[in-house]
Structure 1
């Protein structure tokens, strides 16, 4: 059974959650600041990776 912590998000869903543009999200993935996986030809971002990214960004800002 998949839980909320196992949820995989599409790039547009990540864009909406972070309120960032497509190229910025792909830059975060490319620079490994945002973890992602590839399923077939589709790029997916674990929801926990988005939460970790936000926590890291808050920590850097403090």
Structure 2
């Protein structure tokens, strides 16, 4: 089974180092109470399904 797109996107961001220095969270933002913390929250947008592979599309188009 293919994971939801927001999970695949999170995995891609982490693998490419785009989340360095950020607290990565799922679906809902949870504040740590520290003013210096930065966050990235991955959540579903409720849009239609994407029928192609994200990594292949980024490599081909990018």
TM-score > 0.5, shorter chain as reference: no
Q: Counting helix residues as a fraction of each chain, which structure ranks higher? A: 1
Larger Rg: 2
Shorter-chain TM band = under 0.3
If the length of structure 1 is used for normalisation, what is the TM-score?
0.27
If the length of structure 2 is used for normalisation, what is the TM-score?
0.27
